[in-house]
Amino acid sequence: DAGVTQSPTHLIKTRGQQVTLRCSPKSGHDTVSWYQQALGQGPQFIFQYYEEEERQRGNFPDRFSGHQFPNYSSELNVNALLLGDSALYLCASSLNWWRGIGYTFGSGTRLTVV
Amino acid sequence: EDKVVQSPLSLVVHEGDTVTLNCSYEVTNFRSLLWYKQEKKAPTFLFMLTSSGIEKKSGRLSSILDKKELFSILNITATQTGDSAVYLCAVVLGGGATNKLIFGTGTLLAVQP
């Protein structure tokens, strides 16, 4: 049973660039949520996707955008990268966004902005 | 503003010790509380608590929720070096923010041989 898969595992980008991170949810899950975890901090909610629509959003600027595909996989895009965007980006999948069944995290993408 | 606070921020113990990790919360619409263990990257699920006073157990780990006093504790008995990790507490929101997770900063546990 495949868990949550994220790619790439590590990424180094320059300030001002754009980045796309990818997530495949656990088999049977239909909802994907994205979190940003800065060093020494707990994960912060970015947004959540269900049925290819953004259902909820945290306190992140519009530079952070996302997409969910018909197969439930998802992308997180960050434009105009800042040094402060350096963090571990975690994807979590669950079943039925309003019920939040089986919240499962991927191993994350470590983004470094230089 | 919804807030989850964990204490202590870090803890160093010796193998065999018992530890208690604390999590308090102030949120507008509580649905449930989750505990995760994060060793390298992916937080792995430990417990989900929804009702007060009912202890959840898994081997040497146990957890309980107090919805009146707005806190939860995670106990680990007979600690082992493999318990070394960051332990995260998260509150699941309901209502208009359904199933959004609010995390604490975590407790870094180091178990020395």
- Residue bearing tokens 């998802």: A74
Domain assignment present for residue B87? The answer is yes
Between these two residues, B20 and B41, which has the higher pLDDT value? B20
pLDDT (0 to 100) of residue B54: 87
Chain segment B12-29, per-residue pLDDT in tens: 999 999 999 999 999 988
Chain segment A45-58, per-residue pLDDT in tens: 999 999 999 988 99
Question: How many Cβ pairs closer than 8 A exist between chain A and B?
Answer: 65
**How many C-beta atoms surround the C-beta of residue B109 within 10 A?**
21
Residue contact A103–B105, C-beta within 8 A: no
Residue A100 has pLDDT above 70, yes or no: no
**How many C-beta atoms surround the C-beta of residue A61 within 10 A?**
10
Degrees, nearest 5: CA angle A10-B85-A41: 60
| Nearest-CA distance A95 → chain B (Å) | 11
Domain assignment present for residue B110? The answer is no
The region, left, alpha or beta by phi > 0 then psi within -120 to 50, assigned to residue B50 is alpha
Range of the domain at A56: 5-113
Sheet holding A74-78, edge to edge: A5-7, A19-24, A74-78, A64-68
| Count of structural domains within chain A | 1
| Count of structural domains within chain B | 1
Domain assignment present for residue B109? The answer is no
CATH of the domain at B42: 2.60.40.10
Cα gap A65→A79, rounded to integer Å: 8
Range of the domain at B23: 3-101
